[in-house]
Structures are given as structure tokens and as C-alpha cells.
């Protein structure tokens, strides 16, 4: 019996994805979780794969693995099981599931190098075609030309004859793997064994002698450190090595993630209020039992949730286990990292997409080796290779950034629950505005509900004033600033206090419209109006990234009567400068935070009092703590209520509540001004009152009537193609298939299928988009049905030029 490797192979489509079986050659030492090189398809094209399972059996009909990429597994057994769960629940391929668990810097590219061995002889019979090919290859002038000839041949004809020549022994193949990002290293030096056994046999200069004495005392040092400590140049150390008295070697080092923390604090010094202590004790008690469970912590803004996190993470480490803290935005990471590094030092690792590839790779390695037992990060950090998790915290758990919008389309909550189940760990979900789904499960007792109703400093929640902008217009105020907001900002400037203004639209003018045909100027690739950005003088699409010169004529009718409308953060910044010329203004949006250090520097400058007013989009609305902010202004969130998604009320309520909660966190009382054209809308009033429970009662009643999550699950089938007729025909063919299969299945739980209809944004990036919505229960039976639809649907003739994917509980209004 021989070993068989079940491999997740890269580059497969979901419709034909499976674990592919390969024979493991006796010379290849691999284990589950290692990456390998496999021959794939009829042409035996080389592809990277991950070994998911190894068994024994008859390998006579199987292709052998070509090579091993890793000497040790890069993915643990627990994460391999999680990859299988991911594939079943998010309808991705096996390789997509394992790839998401590795840092991008670990990706490898393979290049095969060929040579013709000297005195090579044919081992066994080869075909006439192979013999003829070898004759032409043998005429190559050198290895470079040989490899070019072979690469060209494989591109045109596949590699079957090349493999035949390799097996016959007349052609040698060597795989060269190149990782996307190399390991960082420093050049080290130590005395050689020869020098240590007989130093008298070496004739060293005085400077070399000084370096040898230093190395004899300290054992080893970097070349630069040895030169510096001995007061000599690097050349002296190099010559000491050249003489044989010392040897150089490379030592791996980590690319450090700067956090700006100064000094250290003791987590034991954190003092909790009675309310905080009650929450802490409930979670810690469950951790002692080592049984998986989920808590939902509903705490008002400023209630001190982070202090509870610090204490619980400290307790987790004292228990000899590991902890994970997930946050929704990259912008919050520096603040959180600084705080936790001051408490726990280098035991804290950070993972988010704003780091360089090298930094992410090194943080991953520190976690895997056990050098870090606390992980802080955004969504992808949930896959961190921790081996003994005791606690996972998801802060601001209601944010939609915890749901991946690209394959695999996973929910961070679901992955965290799976990992807690495997590790007998506790999952703590926390927010001032929990998701409707989480609060519903807490009400039903599936989650354990914990509450913190008071602010930590006992300061009251900000007093919110709602301003009816219709009245402002009637009374002759055409600006985006109500008179009340202008008064409040002036008062803050006079008192030396800071203000935050939220406007959830970036750019300068958000719409350029035609006065004759009344059509906005759309992106040529998307059914989305272009936004004018004054700073670079360009029209930009915020969906596909298109940029173009400002238009002089309407693309629809040719009219030159164009009007600029809408109000973005760039224009807000400009008008603020007119109203308040002495104010120091900081703008925070996607246009001002390109650099991965932008968030940290700008927020730090604001915290240090270098700005009076911070304006920005939703990135400034959550989790940030600025003690000197006493005024918050919300300029316009009305449109968000009508975004075409059943979650639009929830998102709007959450955004207003969270941004208002940024005020009054210090010793002075906070105020907030909420500007709206719909002051009677109950969402506006509940948000102004910071009444989450009132909002929840209204929202859950609507969802029960409409049968929306959490009363059901909702699977979105999304179709894209280069033209609208093709994508509509594909969607029509798939819904016909679904109706047939549903009649055959007769599912145990109710199912309702809606569509197909054009997506809210019917065209993005040049591709037309349709969707089918299926209301169902997320059961194994229904997941099997969805998988069957995706697999069979891909084979329909109408789907030949259409891309289809399924997203369980994804966004509807996109």
C-alpha cells in the first residue's frame, strides 16, 4: 500500500472543485497542511496545492506529486477542518478556503529549470515523438536557450512529452520556488571552531584582535554591532571572516509593526466599576469551565468596554491560553495596538491589510511560533494560527465589515464560533449598537446577554439637538450648516474644545447633472454617478476606480447646460475654512488615508490638539476616544435610509448613535447636532435619544412581517456578464433550474425565491449584474441545494459567458 494525498488545487472553478488524489513518491516527505506542486489536467500543467488529507491505498492509477513546497505544515489540523467548513458554508473552492488563512506574502511562484544530464541514457522505451523532441532540444546552445525552448513548447503543446523525457532520464527538472516576500534577516558573525580550538595559529591585526576578544566574550553579534562596539569599520569584521577566524551567517529577524507606545502599564492596575466587574466575572466564570459559549455585551458608548477587554485578556494569559481581539476598521488598529502593547508588550501581534506584506508575514510567524499570544486585527485576523484560544472578542460586532464581500464570503462571527467550539473558548460580542441578528439570539437565550448602561466616567451621554433643515431653507439659509451648528462650533473654538463633523460622502460635488435631460453624468463602466474631486480636478467613480477629465457636454444629450450638485467632504472642508478661518481642520476619508500610517498619524495629531475640527466619513464614527471632543455634528445621513437594503435603517441608526457617542468622553459634557430633512422619521428620533432597545423593537417587528433575517436566512445568487441580455438569460435559465430542483427536493423548511432582478447598481466595472434572492434556513439540506444549483447552473449553455456566485446573508442593496 502506498500513500495518497488528497489535495486542494489552485485555479479550480467551484463547478468542478474537489479534493484531487495524488500518489506520494517515497522520496517526498510531506504531511497534512503542507503545500505541494501537482501535475493538473490533461497537459499536466503545474499548480500549487495544499495537502488536506493523507491516507493509504492503491496508487497505480494516480499521478504522483511533482514536488513539496514546504518542509513543515503551514496550516494546522484545526484550520484544515475549518477550510472544509468554509467551503460548505460559503460556496468557495477548497484552495480559496486555505489561501485566506495564509498571509499574502507566503504565496509562492514556481519556476521549473531544465538541464540535459551529462552521459544521460534513456531509461526504458520512449515514443518517437519524445525522441524527436529531445533531438531538437539537444541542439540548444546552453541552459538558457534550452529552458526557453521548453517553456515555448509547453505553452503551445502541453507537457506530456516533457514529462516522458524526464521519466526517461534524458532531461532533468528542478523546481525553484520563490515566495512573494522573503524572510528578513541580519548578517551575524561568530568565531570559527578552528579559531576557538587554536587561536595562536592565526595572525590577526590589532583591530581584528579586538573584534575577536569581543566575540569571544559575547559569542555572536551582528556585523554592524560588532564593528560599532569595537570601534572599527565593517571591513575589519569582513577580513576577520576572510581569514577563517570568524564565520558569517544570516539570522532571521522580524519586521516590526510600529505602535507609538511609550513605557508600560500593568493590566492589574485597571480598576473596573461595579457594572464592568459584573460583566468581567460572568465571562471569566465561563472561561474557567472551558466550555464554548457566546456572550453579547450591550454597552452604551463610553461605558468602558475596552477596560473589560483588557482585564479579560490578562486573565486569559494568566490561564496559559491565548486571546484574540477583532475590530471593524483599520483606523482603530493603531489606537488599540498602542494601548495593548503598553500593557502586554511584544506578546501582542497585529494583523490587518494596512501592513506591508513583509510585516504581515512576520506577525503570522510570530503567532505560529508562540512568540505572541494576543492577536489584534480586523476581519482576516480571525484565522490567526493560535494553538490554544481561550477568548475571542469581536468589538463593534454589528459592523458589516465583519462580512467578507469576496470569496470566500464568510462571516467573522461564524468563523469565531467554529474556532471557539474547537478550543473550548468563549466568544464575546460587544457593541453599543449590536446587530439585530445578535440581539435576537440574545433575547432567545442562544447568547448570554450582558449590559452596561452607564458611562465609565459617570458623565452623561451627549445631549442631542435635532435641526430641521427644511426650516433652515425656508428661512433663507442655503448652506449645509444650520445656524445652530455654526453657533456650537464657534462656542467650541472659543473654549478650546474639539469638534467632529460626520458627512458620509467623500469628494467635492457628488453629482454632475444635465439641466436639459436631467440625467447625471454616469461612470462609463458602472451605473453610478461620477463624483467630482476638486483636489485633483478629476471625475471619479468610487466603485470601479475610473477617473476622467470634467465633462463639458452631457454624454446623454450633448447639452452644455450642466449643474454641479451634492456636497462631499472636500467641499465641506473648503466651506468650513470660509466660515471658521482660524480653525485648524483635519479631513479623514479614503482620499486622505492612502498610506498605512495616515490613520495613526492623523488621529494622534488630533488627539494631541493640533486640530480643532475633524471632518470625515463613517471611518471616524466608531471606536475612537478623544477626551477633548465635546461637539459632534451629523450633517447628512438621510439618503442612507433609502439605500435599497433591508439593513439600511439598522446601519443609519448605528452610524448616528456611534458618532454621537464620540462626544463628551472627557470631563466636559458632550453635545450633538443632528441635521436632517426628515426630522419626523422614527429612526432619527430614536438615534437622537440613543434608544437602542426602542429601535430594536421597531426593527424586529418589521422583519417579522417581511420575513427578513434573523427570522430566516437569505442567500443571494449574483450573476455578472459583459452585456445585459446575456446576464438576464443566464439568470432566467438558473431560476428555471432552481424551480425544478426545489420541486424534486421538497425541502423540510420553507423556501421562497424572488427574482431575477437587476441589482441596485446594475453595472459595476463594465459588467452587468442581476440577482436572485432565496429566503430559506441555512441547513445542510439547503446548502446542498445551493451547491447543486451552482454546479449544474455553470453547465447550462445560457451560462457560458456568465459568472455566478452565492452569498449567504450577504448585502442585498448592492
- The three-state DSSP-derived secondary structure of 665-683 is CCCCCCEEEEEECCCCCHH
Q: Looking at the predicted structure, is the pLDDT value of residue 548 above 90?
A: no
CB atoms within 10 A of CB 439: 25
Half-sphere exposure (CA, 13 Å, Cβ side) for 771? 20
- The superfamily (CATH) of domain 267-452 is P-loop containing nucleotide triphosphate hydrolases (3.40.50.300)
**Burial profile 706-715: b = 16 or more Cβ within 10 angstroms, e = fewer:** eebbbebbbb
Query: Cell for 62?
Result: 494516480
pLDDT of residue 410: 96
Q: What is the mean pLDDT of the chain?
A: 88
Q: Quick check: helix, strand or coil at residue 707? A: coil
pLDDT of residue 184: 59
pLDDT of residue 592: 64
Burial class (CB in 10 A: 0-12, 13-18, 19+), 506: buried
Spell out the residues 6+ positions from residue 259 whose beta carbon is closer than 8 angstroms to its own: 334, 337, 338, 341, 350
Predicted confidence band at 396 (pLDDT cuts at 50, 70, 90)?
very high
Closest CA to 379 of 361, 358, 397: 397
pLDDT of residue 431: 93
Query: Cell for 781?
Result: 439540506
More confident residue, 69 or 42: 69
Question: Where are the alpha helices (H) located in 496-591, listed in sequence order?
Answer: 569-579
pLDDT of residue 5: 96
Spell out the residues 6+ positions from residue 528 whose beta carbon is closer than 8 angstroms to its own: 522, 541, 542, 543, 761, 764
Closest CA to 483 of 497, 469, 498, 494: 469
Determine how β-strand 348-351 pairs with β-strand 246-252.
unpaired
More confident residue, 252 or 573: 573
Determine how β-strand 562-565 pairs with β-strand 538-540.
unpaired
In the block, cell 467578507 appears at: 404
More confident residue, 9 or 627: 9
Q: Looking at the predicted structure, is the pLDDT value of residue 784 above 90?
A: yes
pLDDT of residue 154: 82
As a whole number of angstroms, the distance between CA 723 and CA 762 comes to 11
Q: Do residues 75 and 99 touch, judged by C-beta distance below 8 A? A: no
Task: Answer whether 267-452 and 463-506+569-704 agree in fold.
Answer: yes
More confident residue, 601 or 11: 11
Q: Phi and psi (nearest 5°) for 359?
A: -65, -45
Closest CA to 186 of 221, 211, 234: 221
DSSP-assigned letter for residue 301: T
What average pLDDT does this structure show over 40-63? 90
More confident residue, 472 or 181: 472
User: What confidence tens digit (pLDDT) does each residue in 558-570 have?
Assistant: 888 888 877 788 8
Q: Looking at the predicted structure, is the pLDDT value of residue 595 above 70?
A: no
Q: Looking at the predicted structure, is the pLDDT value of residue 379 above 80?
A: yes
Predicted confidence band at 227 (pLDDT cuts at 50, 70, 90)?
confident
Spell out the residues 6+ positions from residue 618 whose beta carbon is closer than 8 angstroms to its own: 502, 504, 655, 659
What average pLDDT does this structure show over 92-105? 93
Predicted confidence band at 198 (pLDDT cuts at 50, 70, 90)?
confident
As a whole number of angstroms, the distance between CA 531 and CA 540 comes to 5
Q: Do residues 606 and 616 touch, judged by C-beta distance below 8 A? A: no
Lowest mean pLDDT among 16-30, 219-233, 296-310, 396-410: 219-233
Q: Do residues 635 and 675 touch, judged by C-beta distance below 8 A? A: yes
User: What confidence tens digit (pLDDT) does each residue in 264-298 have?
Assistant: 677 777 788 899 999 999 999 999 999 999 999 99
- The superfamily (CATH) of domain 713-808 is Ribosomal protein S10 (3.30.70.600)
Q: Do residues 112 and 174 touch, judged by C-beta distance below 8 A? A: yes
Lowest mean pLDDT among 36-45, 143-152, 162-171: 162-171
As a whole number of angstroms, the distance between CA 648 and CA 43 comes to 50
Q: Looking at the predicted structure, is the pLDDT value of residue 745 above 80?
A: yes
Closest CA to 546 of 563, 522, 570, 511: 522
Burial class (CB in 10 A: 0-12, 13-18, 19+), 185: exposed
Q: Looking at the predicted structure, is the pLDDT value of residue 333 above 80?
A: no
Predicted confidence band at 753 (pLDDT cuts at 50, 70, 90)?
very high
As a whole number of angstroms, the distance between CA 389 and CA 422 comes to 9
- The superfamily (CATH) of domain 463-506+569-704 is P-loop containing nucleotide triphosphate hydrolases (3.40.50.300)
Predicted confidence band at 183 (pLDDT cuts at 50, 70, 90)?
low
Q: Do residues 2 and 62 touch, judged by C-beta distance below 8 A? A: no
User: What confidence tens digit (pLDDT) does each residue in 488-536 have?
Assistant: 999 999 999 999 998 888 777 778 888 888 888 888 888 888 888 877 7
Q: Looking at the predicted structure, is the pLDDT value of residue 355 above 80?
A: no
Query: Cell for 116?
Result: 540535459
pLDDT of residue 181: 62
pLDDT of residue 182: 57
Q: Quick check: helix, strand or coil at residue 442? A: helix
Q: Looking at the predicted structure, is the pLDDT value of residue 141 above 90?
A: no
pLDDT of residue 537: 81
Q: Phi and psi (nearest 5°) for 507?
A: 100, -170
Predicted confidence band at 254 (pLDDT cuts at 50, 70, 90)?
low
Q: Quick check: helix, strand or coil at residue 735? A: helix
Determine how β-strand 67-68 pairs with β-strand 35-40.
antiparallel
pLDDT of residue 115: 85
Query: Cell for 276?
Result: 464592568
Predicted confidence band at 80 (pLDDT cuts at 50, 70, 90)?
very high
Q: Looking at the predicted structure, is the pLDDT value of residue 8 above 90?
A: yes
Q: Looking at the predicted structure, is the pLDDT value of residue 134 above 90?
A: no
Lowest mean pLDDT among 266-270, 429-433, 634-638: 266-270
Q: Quick check: helix, strand or coil at residue 507? A: coil
pLDDT of residue 707: 93
What average pLDDT does this structure show over 241-245? 89
Q: Looking at the predicted structure, is the pLDDT value of residue 123 above 70?
A: no
CB atoms within 10 A of CB 699: 21
As a whole number of angstroms, the distance between CA 238 and CA 243 comes to 9
User: What confidence tens digit (pLDDT) does each residue in 644-681 have?
Assistant: 788 889 999 998 888 888 887 777 888 999 999 999 99
Beta bridge partners of 427: 294, 392
Query: Cell for 529?
Result: 454617478
Q: Where are the domains of the chain?
A: 2-179, 185-252, 267-452, 463-506+569-704, 507-567, 713-808
Determine how β-strand 448-452 pairs with β-strand 293-299.
parallel
As a whole number of angstroms, the distance between CA 793 and CA 724 comes to 18
Question: Where are the alpha helices (H) located in 101-205, listed in sequence order?
Answer: 128-137, 143-157, 160-168, 193-197
Query: In degrees, to the nearest 5, what angle opens at C-alpha 376 toward C-alphas 374 and 377?
Result: 150
Closest CA to 324 of 423, 435, 447: 423
The full DSSP string for 629-694 is EEEEEEEE-GGGGGSSSTTHHHHHHHHHHHHHTTSS-SSSPPEEEEEES-TT-HHHHHHHTT-HHH
pLDDT of residue 593: 59
Q: Do residues 378 and 401 touch, judged by C-beta distance below 8 A? A: yes
pLDDT of residue 514: 86
pLDDT of residue 104: 83
Lowest mean pLDDT among 14-23, 30-39, 257-266, 641-650: 257-266
In the block, cell 489606537 appears at: 335
Residues belonging to the chain: 814
Q: Looking at the predicted structure, is the pLDDT value of residue 262 above 60?
A: no
Among 254-263, 561-570, 702-711, top mean pLDDT goes to: 702-711
Q: Phi and psi (nearest 5°) for 659?
A: -70, -35
Predicted confidence band at 146 (pLDDT cuts at 50, 70, 90)?
confident
pLDDT of residue 329: 83
Quote the percentage of the chain above a pLDDT of 90: 47
Among 481-485, 525-529, 641-645, 788-792, top mean pLDDT goes to: 788-792
Q: Quick check: helix, strand or coil at residue 126? A: coil
Q: Is the peptide bond before 32 cis (omega within 30 degrees of 0)?
A: no
Quote the percentage of the chain above a pLDDT of 70: 95
As a whole number of angstroms, the distance between CA 645 and CA 438 comes to 18
Q: Quick check: helix, strand or coil at residue 461? A: coil
pLDDT of residue 792: 96
As a whole number of angstroms, the distance between CA 382 and CA 515 comes to 50
Q: Among the CATH numbers 3.30.479.10, 3.40.190.10, 3.40.1440.60, 3.40.50.2300, which is that of 2-179?
A: 3.40.1440.60
Q: Looking at the predicted structure, is the pLDDT value of residue 717 above 90?
A: yes
Q: Looking at the predicted structure, is the pLDDT value of residue 95 above 90?
A: yes
Q: Do residues 587 and 573 touch, judged by C-beta distance below 8 A? A: yes
pLDDT of residue 598: 64
Lowest mean pLDDT among 155-164, 259-268, 273-282, 776-785: 259-268
pLDDT of residue 623: 66
Closest CA to 235 of 208, 200, 213: 208
As a whole number of angstroms, the distance between CA 391 and CA 309 comes to 10
Q: Looking at the predicted structure, is the pLDDT value of residue 216 above 70?
A: yes
pLDDT of residue 408: 95
Distances (CA, A) of 563 to 529, 553, 638: 13, 11, 22
Amino acid at each position: 500500500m502506498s500513500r495518497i494525498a488528497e489535495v486542494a488545487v489552485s485555479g479550480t472553478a467551484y463547478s468542478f472543485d474537489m479534493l484531487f488524489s495524488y500518489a506520494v513518491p517515497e522520496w517526498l516527505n510531506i504531511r497534512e497542511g503542507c503545500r505541494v506542486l501537482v501535475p493538473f489536467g490533461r497537459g499536466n500543467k503545474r499548480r500549487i496545492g495544499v495537502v488536506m488529507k493523507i491516507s493509504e491505498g492503491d496508487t497505480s492509477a494516480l499521478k504522483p506529486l511533482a514536488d513539496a513546497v514546504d518542509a513543515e505544515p503551514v496550516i494546522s489540523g484545526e484550520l484544515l477542518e475549518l477550510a472544509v467548513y468554509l467551503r460548505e458554508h460559503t460556496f468557495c473552492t477548497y484552495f480559496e478556503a486555505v489561501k485566506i488563512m495564509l498571509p499574502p506574502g507566503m504565496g509562492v511562484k514556481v519556476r521549473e529549470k531544465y538541464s540535459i544530464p551529462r552521459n544521460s541514457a534513456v531509461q526504458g522505451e520512449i515514443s518517437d515523438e519524445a525522441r524527436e523532441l529531445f533531438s531538437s532540444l539537444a541542439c540548444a546552445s546552453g541552459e538558457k536557450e534550452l529552458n526557453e525552448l521548453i517553456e515555448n513548447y509547453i505553452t503551445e503543446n502541453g507537457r506530456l512529452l516533457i514529462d516522458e523525457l524526464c521519466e526517461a532520464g534524458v532531461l532533468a527538472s528542478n523546481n525553484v520556488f520563490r515566495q512573494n516576500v522573503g524572510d528578513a534577516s541580519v548578517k551575524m558573525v561568530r568565531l570559527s571552531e578552528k579559531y576557538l580550538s587554536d587561536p595562536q595559529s592565526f595572525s590577526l591585526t590589532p583591530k581584528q584582535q579586538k573584534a575577536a576578544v569581543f566575540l569571544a566574550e559575547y559569542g555572536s553579534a551582528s556585523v554592524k554591532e560588532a564593528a560599532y562596539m569595537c570601534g572599527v569599520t565593517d571591513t575589519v569584521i569582513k577580513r576577520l571572516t576572510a581569514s577563517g577566524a570568524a564565520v558569517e551567517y544570516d539570522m532571521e529577524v522580524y519586521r516590526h509593526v510600529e505602535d507609538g507606545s511609550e513605557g508600560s502599564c500593568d493590566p492589574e492596575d485597571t480598576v473596573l466599576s461595579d457594572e464592568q466587574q459584573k460583566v468581567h466575572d460572568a465571562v471569566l466564570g465561563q472561561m474557567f469551565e472551558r466550555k464554548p459559549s457566546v456572550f453579547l455585551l450591550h454597552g452604551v458608548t463610553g461605558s468602558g468596554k475596552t477596560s473589560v477587554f483588557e482585564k479579560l485578556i490578562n486573565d486569559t494569559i494568566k490561564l496559559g491560553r491565548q486571546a484574540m481581539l477583532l475590530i471593524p476598521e483599520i483606523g482603530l488598529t493603531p489606537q488599540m495596538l498602542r494601548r495593548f502593547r503598553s500593557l502586554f508588550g511584544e506578546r501582542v501581534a497585529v494583523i490587518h491589510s494596512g501592513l506591508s506584506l513583509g510585516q504581515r508575514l512576520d506577525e503570522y510567524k510570530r503567532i505560529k511560533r508562540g512568540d505572541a499570544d494576543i492577536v489584534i486585527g480586523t476581519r482576516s485576523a480571525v484565522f490567526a494560527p493560535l494553538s490554544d484560544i481561550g477568548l475571542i472578542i469581536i468589538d463593534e460586532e454589528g459592523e458589516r465589515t465583519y462580512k467578507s464581500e469576496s470569496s470566500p464570503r464568510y462571516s467573522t462571527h461564524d468563523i469565531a464560533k467554529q474556532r471557539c467550539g474547537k478550543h473550548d473558548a468563549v466568544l464575546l460580542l460587544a457593541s453599543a449598537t449590536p446587530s439585530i441578528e445578535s440581539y435576537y439570539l440574545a433575547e432567545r437565550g442562544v447568547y448570554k446577554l450582558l449590559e452596561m448602561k452607564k458611562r465609565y466616567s459617570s458623565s452623561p451621554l451627549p445631549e442631542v439637538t435635532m435641526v430641521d433643515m427644511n426650516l433652515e431653507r425656508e428661512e433663507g439659509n442655503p448652506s449645509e450648516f444650520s445656524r445652530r451648528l455654526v453657533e456650537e462650533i464657534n462656542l467650541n473654538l472659543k473654549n478650546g474644545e474639539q469638534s467632529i463633523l460626520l458627512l458620509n460622502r467623500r469628494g467635492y460635488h457628488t453629482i454632475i447633472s444635465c439641466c436639459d435631460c436631467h440625467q447625471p453624468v454616469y461612470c462609463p463602466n458602472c451605473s453610478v454617478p461620477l463624483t467630482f474631486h476638486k483636489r485633483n480636478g478629476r471625475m471619479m467613480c468610487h466603485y470601479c476606480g475610473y477617473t476622467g477629465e470634467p465633462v463639458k457636454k452631457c454624454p446623454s444629450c450633448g447639452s452644455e447646460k450642466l449643474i454641479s450638485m451634492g456636497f462631499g467632504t472636500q467641499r465641506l472642508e473648503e466651506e468650513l475654512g470660509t466660515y471658521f478661518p482660524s480653525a485648524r481642520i483635519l479631513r479623514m476619508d479614503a482620499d486622505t488615508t492612502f498610506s498605512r500610517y495616515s490613520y495613526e498619524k492623523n488621529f494622534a495629531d488630533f488627539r494631541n490638539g493640533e486640530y480643532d475640527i475633524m471632518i470625515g466619513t463613517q471611518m471616524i464614527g466608531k471606536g475612537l476616544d478623544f477626551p477633548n471632543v465635546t461637539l459632534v455634528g451629523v450633517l447628512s445621513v438621510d439618503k442612507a435610509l433609502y439605500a435599497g437594503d433591508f439593513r439600511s435603517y439598522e446601519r443609519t441608526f448605528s452610524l448616528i448613535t456611534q458618532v454621537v457617542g464620540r462626544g463628551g468622553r472627557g470631563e466636559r459634557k458632550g453635545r450633538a447636532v443632528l441635521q436632517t430633512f426628515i426630522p419626523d422619521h422614527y429612526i432619527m428620533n430614536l438615534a437622537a435619544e440613543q434608544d437602542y432597545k426602542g429601535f430594536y423593537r421597531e426593527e424586529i417587528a418589521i422583519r417579522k412581517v417581511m420575513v427578513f433575517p434573523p427570522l430566516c436566512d437569505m442567500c443571494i445568487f449574483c450573476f455578472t456578464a459583459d452585456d445585459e441580455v446575456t446576464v438576464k438569460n443566464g439568470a432566467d435559465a438558473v431560476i428555471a433550474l432552481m424551480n425544478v430542483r426545489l420541486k424534486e427536493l421538497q425541502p423540510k423548511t420553507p423556501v421562497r425565491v424572488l427574482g431575477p432582478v437587476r441589482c441596485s447598481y446594475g453595472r459595476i466595472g463594465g459588467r452587468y449584474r442581476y440577482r436572485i434572492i432565496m429566503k430559506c434556513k441555512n441547513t445542510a439540506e439547503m446548502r446542498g441545494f445551493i451547491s447543486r444549483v451552482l454546479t449544474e447552473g455553470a453547465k447550462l449553455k445560457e451560462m457560458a459567458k456568465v459568472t455566478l456566485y452565492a452569498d449567504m446573508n450577504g448585502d442585498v442593496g448592492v
